[in-house]
């Protein structure tokens, strides 16, 4: 009966992600980009810009945002919302940092992780 339950999955260590950089996690067809900010906070967004699906993990990380490598849209790491004059948002995922470990929060249902 655990149709929707949050599941914390350990996906790696803080040191695996370069400062102001990004790594990806693959969950079936879904690619999730993990970002590490200058002050060592970790954020997770779907690796897809709401504009034209650009891989956000390849962008430049700055001040709590990432700039998409394709057309320079700026996305908030915290909320996935597009900043500035453009509009849209990207799916964001909760992260827990336990010491050096990074835990990604995913909703699980009977037919797998969402």
Partner 1 sequence: MTQKLVIIGNGMAPGRMLEHLFEEDATAYDVTIFNAEPRVNYNRLMLSPVLSGEKTYEDIITHDDAWYEANNVTLLKGAKITEIDRNLKTVTSEAGVVASYDKLVIATGSNPFIIPLPGHDLDGVLVYRDLDDVGAMLTAAKSKGRAVVIGGGLLGLEAAAGLKARGMDVTVLHLMPTLMERQLDPAAGYLLEKAIKDKGIEVLTEVNSKEILGKDGRVSGITLDDGTVIDASIVIMAVGIRPSFSLAKDADIDCNRGILVDDKMQTSDPDVYALGECVEHRGDCYGLVAPLYEMAKVLANNLTGGNAEFTGSVTATKLKVTGVDLYSAGDFAEADDREEIVLRDAAQGIYKRLVLKENRIIGAVQYGETTDGPWFFDLLKKGTDISEMRDSLIFGQAYQGGASLDPMQAVAALPDDAEICGCNGICKSVIVTAITDKKLNTLDEVRSHTKASASCGTCTGLVEQLMSVTLGDTYDPSKVAAVCPCTDLGHDDVRRLIQVKSLKSIPAVMQELEWKTSCGCAKCRPALNYYLVSDWPGEYEDDYQSRYINERVHANIQKDGTYSVVPRMWGGMTSSDELRAIADVVDKFDIPAVKVTGGQRIDMLGVKKEDLLGVWSDLGDAGFVSGQAYAKGLRTVKTCVGSDWCRFGTQDSTGFGIRIEKFMWGSWTPAKLKLAVSGCPRNCSEATCKDIGVICVDSGYDIHFAGAAGLDIKGTELLGHASSEDEALEYIVALTQLYREQGHYLERIYKWAKRVGVDEIRSQILDDDIGRKNLYQRFVYSQKFAQHDPWSERVSGKDKHEFNPLAIFGQEAAE
Binding site for partner 1 (CB under 8 A): 2, 7, 9, 11-12, 16-21, 23-28, 31, 34, 38-39, 52-55, 58-63, 65, 67, 69-70, 72, 74, 108, 112-113
- The distance of closest approach from Cβ of residue 83 to partner 1 in the complex, given in angstroms and rounded to an integer, is 11
CA-based diameter of the chain, in Å?
44
Yes or no: say if 16 and 108 are a contact pair by the CB < 8 Å rule.
Answer: no
Is the CB of 70 or the CB of 79 nearer to partner 1? Answer: 70
Task: Specify the residue for token string 């060592």.
Answer: 40
- The distance of closest approach from Cβ of residue 94 to partner 1 in the complex, given in angstroms and rounded to an integer, is 16
- The distance of closest approach from Cβ of residue 45 to partner 1 in the complex, given in angstroms and rounded to an integer, is 14
What is the C-alpha separation between 114 and 106, in angstroms, rounded?
6
- The distance of closest approach from Cβ of residue 12 to partner 1 in the complex, given in angstroms and rounded to an integer, is 5
**Cα–Cα distances in Å, from 57 out to 29, 54, 65, 73, 111?**
16, 9, 11, 13, 27
């Amino acid at each position: 009966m655990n149709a929707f339950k949050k599941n914390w999955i350990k996906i790696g260590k803080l040191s695996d992600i370069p400062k102001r950089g990004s790594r990806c996690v693959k969950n079936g067809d879904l690619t999730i980009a993990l970002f590490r900010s200058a002050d060592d906070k970790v954020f997770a967004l779907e690796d897809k810009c709401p504009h034209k699906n650009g891989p956000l993990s390849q962008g430049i990380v700055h001040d709590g945002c990432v700039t998409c490598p394709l057309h320079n849209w700026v996305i908030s790491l915290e909320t996935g919302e597009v900043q500035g004059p453009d509009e849209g948002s990207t799916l964001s995922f909760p992260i827990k940092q336990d010491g050096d470990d990074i835990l990604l929060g995913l909703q699980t249902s009977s037919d797998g992780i969402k």
